[in-house]
Chains A and B, each alone.
Chain A
Amino acid sequence: MAQRVTMKPLTRHLNYLGLQRIFARSLMRNRLLFVRLLAASLPLVALAGCSEESKQVIADPDLIPADGLLRRLTETQFQSSLAAVFGPEVPVPVSPEPDVQLGRFLSVGATQATFSPRGVEAIEKVSFDLAKKAMENEAVRARLVPCVPAATRDDACATTALVRLAEQLWRRPVTGEEAAKLVDVAGTAATTLADFYQGLGYGIAATIQSPNFLFRAELGEGEGSALPTGRLNGFELATRLAYFFWNAPPDDALLAAAEQGLLSTDEGLQAQAERLFADPRVHGGVRNFFNEYFQLYELDKLDKDPTIFEHARPELGPIAREETLSTIEALLLEEEGDYRELFTGRRTFINRELASVYRVPAPAREGFAEYVYPPDSPRAGFLGQLSFLGLHSHAVASSATIRGLFIRQRLLCKRINPPPVNVSTALPEVNPDAQTLRDRLSTHATEPSCAGCHDLTDPIGLGLENFDAMGQYRTTDNGGTIDPAGDLDGAPFADARGVAERVVQHEDFGSCFVANLYRYATGHEENFTELPILEGLTGELEASGYRIKPAMIGIVMSEGFRSASKAQ
Chain B
Amino acid sequence: MKTLPLSVLFAACAALSACAEEDPAEAVLSAGEAFEGSASSGVAFGGLTARPAVVVREIHVAGSVSSSIAPGFDLDSRVSNATDREACGKKDFTSPDGITGIDNQLGAVWASVYDLAGVPVEGLIRAAVNDGKLAFVVEFDGLDDPWNDDDVTLHLFRGYNEKPIIGTTGVMQGGQTFEVRPGAPVVTAEHVSIVDGRLHLSADEYYLDLELLAEAFAINVINMEFGLQYQEDGTWNGYLGCGVSVAEISEIARTYAESESRIIIPLLPNIADLRPGPDNKCTYVSAVLELKGIDAFIAR
Interface residues of A (CB under 8 A from B): 306-307, 309-313, 352-353, 355-365, 369, 371-379, 473-475
Contact = CB atoms under 8 A, between A and B. Distances in A.
A338 to B, nearest CB: 23
Contacts of A309: 168
B250 interface: no
A310 B173 contact: yes
A202 to B, nearest CB: 48
Nearest to B48: A361
B137 to A, nearest CB: 14
A355 B175 contact: yes
Given A356-B173, A363-B43, A307 B297 contact: no
A376 B41 CA distance: 12
A376 B38 contact: yes
Nearest to A372: B43
Given A352-B165, A353-B165, A473 B174 contact: no
A302 to B, nearest CB: 13
Contacts of A357: 175
Majority DSSP secondary structure for residues of B touching A: loop
Majority DSSP secondary structure for residues of A touching B: loop
Contacts of B42: 360-361, 374
Contact of B177 (A307, A313, A361, A474): A361
A79 to B, nearest CB: 30
Interface string B161-176: 0100101110001111
Chain B CB count within 10 A is highest, among A359, A361, A371, A374, for A361
A475 B295 CA distance: 17
Contacts of B176: 352, 355-356, 362
B147 interface: no
A340 B44 CA distance: 27
Nearest to A369: B46
Contact of B299 (A306, A353, A361, A378): A361
A359 B299 contact: no
Nearest to A312: B168
Given A356-B174, A361-B177, A362-B177, A474 B33 contact: yes
Contacts of A365: 45, 162
B174 A359 contact: yes
Given A356-B176, A378-B37, 7 more contacts: A310-B168, A358-B175, A361-B42, A363-B46, A374-B42, A473-B33, A475-B33
Contact of A359 (B36, B44, B162): B36
A361 B297 contact: yes
Contacts, number: 89
A172 B27 CA distance: 65
Interface string B265-300: 000000000000000000000000000000101010
Given A361-B50, A378-B36, A313 B168 contact: yes
B45 A374 contact: no
Given A312-B168, A473-B36, A363 B44 contact: yes
Contacts of B173: 310-311, 356
A360 B44 CA distance: 9
Interface in B177-192: 177
B117 interface: no
Nearest to A384: B36
Given A362-B44, A373-B37, A352 B177 contact: yes
A307 B167 CA distance: 10
Interface of B: 33-38, 42-46, 50, 162, 165, 167-169, 173-177, 295, 297, 299
A369 B36 CA distance: 18
B261 to A, nearest CB: 39
A356 B174 CA distance: 6
A219 to B, nearest CB: 51
Given A352-B177, A355-B175, A361-B177, A310 B38 contact: no
A353 B173 CA distance: 9
Contacts of A352: 165, 176-177
B37 A377 contact: yes
Contact of A363 (B37, B45, B169): B45
Contacts of A378: 36-37
A378 B39 CA distance: 12
A377 B299 CA distance: 19
A548 B131 CA distance: 45
10 contacts: A310-B169, A311-B167, A313-B167, A356-B173, A361-B297, A362-B45, A362-B177, A373-B37, A375-B38, A473-B33
Contacts of A361: 42-44, 50, 177, 297, 299
Contacts of A355: 175-177
Contact of B168 (A307, A359, A376, A377): A307
B295 A359 contact: yes
Contacts of B295: 359
A303 to B, nearest CB: 12
Contacts of B162: 365
B175 A376 contact: no
Chain A CB count within 10 A is highest, among B43, B174, B175, for B175
B123 to A, nearest CB: 20
Contacts of A473: 33, 36
Nearest to A354: B175
Closest 9 CB pairs of A and B: A377-B37, A361-B50, A310-B167, A306-B168, A361-B44, A362-B177, A374-B38, A361-B42, A356-B175
A351 to B, nearest CB: 10
B33 A376 contact: no
A377 B264 CA distance: 53
Contacts of B177: 352, 355-356, 361-362
Nearest to B51: A361
A434 to B, nearest CB: 20
A378 B36 CA distance: 7
Contacts of B35: 359-360
B155 to A, nearest CB: 16
A376 B46 CA distance: 21
Contact of A360 (B36, B45, B165): B36
A379 B36 contact: yes
Chain A CB count within 10 A is highest, among B36, B167, B299, for B36
A243 to B, nearest CB: 37
A355 B36 CA distance: 11
B127 to A, nearest CB: 19
A365 B161 CA distance: 9
Contacts of B168: 306-307, 309-313
Contacts of A474: 33
Nearest to A359: B175
B168 to A, nearest CB: 4
A491 B45 CA distance: 39
Contact of B37 (A362, A376, A475): A376
A211 to B, nearest CB: 46
B294 to A, nearest CB: 9
Nearest to A313: B168
A484 to B, nearest CB: 15
Contacts of B50: 361-362
